[in-house]
Chain A
Amino acid sequence: MTGFALSPDHRPRLKRGVKLARDAARNTDILNAPERIVVLDEIAAEILKSCDGNNSIAMIAASLAAAHAEDEAVVCADVMELLSDLVAQGFVE
């Protein structure tokens, strides 16, 4: 994957024009972006709801790990992988 190297201190947010939305007809969460739509799984949607520019990646991972009783380091690595991919694709900054 040609993702971006992110630090756990980085406070991610959706780029201008990128919006989380509920697709009721297909019963899924999506990202709406200029000329693009990304279908999100439940975990990705949960992570992106926290990407408001205030929460750091470490904070997002910690609350996710607590909510799902998972190992924080493992969750943090997963969150970084997802977000670095979305940064490279221009959805998150």
Chain B
Amino acid sequence: MSTLPPPMGLLAELTHRCPLQCPYCSNPLELKRASEELDTASWQRVFGEAARLGILQLHLSGGEPAARADLETLVASASAAGLYTNLITSGLMLDESRIRALAAAGLDHVQLSFQDVDATGADHVSGLKGSLARKLAFAGHVRDAGLALTVNAVVHRQNIARVPQIIALALALEAGRLEIAHVQYYGWAFANRDALLPARAEVDEATAIVTAAREQLKGRLVIDYVTPDWYGARPKPCMGGWGRQVMVVTPNGEVWPCHAASTIPGLIFDNVRAKPLAEIWQHNHAFNAFRGTQWMTEPCQGCEHAERDWGGCRCQALALTGNAAATDPVCELSPAHGALAEMARDAATASPPPFRYRRIGG
């Protein structure tokens, strides 16, 4: 492992506290409380270790990262360490003076989430009244502070019809980038799949709209599009491959290869309170468990796509087959692919049940 290349990105989940309760949240079902969070000095140390390890971009996320009163201090430290700092936010806990302070601290980019472009729809998904108007105001403050803005919209069966309006919103807010991401069905989203998964025809229509807009808006708006992989034939290279590009640090300091890694039984995680990031990257059990191709079983083992998609998503393989080392069932070569297609059909045709909202202790 002496030639192991360093990671490119660090996802710092500063807190699980959040004013929103989106039913597709990527946080684990078991959320950490404020009393368990790393303190300011520990995060500052981690950012220094990350930069020295070769990490280039820091994604400050949560929960809502601005629920931390020390966010400005953390951004200043990360920026001083040489990291490109990206704030992933709901925009609901930052007023104009705080966003100016973040810009002054060296923040490079803001990614603002929108649950819908329709106020009622946004309230329904976020579980919070009046969120859309506040987000629109926040986007103006970001622009006025001279910061780059990405509009992020997660799409599902309850808002997919409004993809054209989502694109129009990104243009109206003068965003440089738009991320339209279909829900990925893990954790909270898996529990809510019958309320969220669109029909295949709806996905195809949205994809066609995005593809046309991307071409038409080239040079003006970058559009990244994350497809719902349950309708795919090839799995995504989840996290750019397990233990290849990204480290996730949880609010209490555990280091995971991906957001959902804790769902896989038997993995041993290290904590930044006890070990330096570089040592964890090289030697941690969980990072090495699915790194490379040695762990693969048939049909991944020896497959020509093995070093392109790295077998897809381990957490999805576990959730759908019971075996984390199985081929991701999204792959048409997986023996479980047919069962997944059936599950997708059932979910998309179910009459949508009420959301199970993301709540701490819920």
Contact = CB atoms under 8 A, between A and B. Distances in A.
Report whether chain A binds chain B. Answer: yes
Interface of A: 2, 4, 15-19, 21, 23-26, 30, 32, 34-35, 37, 87-90, 93
B82 A21 contact: yes
Interface of B: 6, 8, 53-54, 56-57, 82, 84, 86, 108-109, 111, 146-150, 176-177, 179, 218-219, 221-222, 224
B54 A32 contact: no
A18 B109 CA distance: 9
A84 B56 CA distance: 26
6 contacts: A2-B218, A16-B147, A35-B150, A35-B179, A37-B57, A93-B219
A69 B251 CA distance: 55
Contacts of B221: 90
Contact of A19 (B108, B111, B218): B108
Contacts, number: 61
B215 to A, nearest CB: 9
Contacts of A87: 219
A37 B8 contact: yes
Contacts of A16: 146-149, 176
A39 to B, nearest CB: 11
Given A15-B148, A32-B56, A90-B176, 16 more contacts: A2-B218, A4-B219, A15-B176, A16-B149, A17-B108, A17-B147, A17-B148, A17-B177, A24-B54, A34-B111, A34-B177, A35-B150, A35-B224, A37-B8, A87-B219, A90-B222
Contacts of B53: 25
A4 B218 CA distance: 9
A25 B54 contact: yes
A2 B216 CA distance: 12
A60 to B, nearest CB: 19
Contacts of A34: 86, 109, 111, 148, 150, 176-177, 222
Q: Which of B6, B56, B147 has the most CB of A within 10 A?
A: B56
